[in-house]
Amino acid sequence: MKSNVKIDAGVCGFTTRATAESNDDRHVTFIVKTDCAKIGQLGRLLQEGGPFDAYQEIDPRGESHLMQTARSTLTGCCAGCVVPVGLFKAMQVAAGLALPKDIAVRLLKE
């Protein structure tokens, strides 16, 4: 299955478009397009490190390779970037482990 996502990162103004694809409902590859240099680097690392075994990625006994790669790439103020979560969700959908439903983070001013 193929899962396409568009992720608006927030105040930085960068938008990321990505495709997560699996031909066997388990192993997922990524194509990431963005103007953000750090997310671009993350996308290259995901392509080089893939395909990702979606079942291992969601196993609570282990560490997600996708999220480890994101943490090591997105340091400083970029550590709070929402793009890795969007990519993780796209991986789940591509492997048939989640239904395609929008996700959202809304910061409320009180």
Position 64 scores a pLDDT of: 94
Task: Set out the domains of the chain in order of their start, with CATH numbers.
Answer: 2-94 (3.90.1010)
Q: Is 87 exposed, middle or buried (0-12, 13-18, 19+ CB in 10 A)?
A: buried
pTM: 0.93
Q: DSSP character for 24?
A: S
pLDDT tens digits for range 36-89:
999 999 999 999 998 999 999 999 998 999 999 999 999 888 888 999 999 999
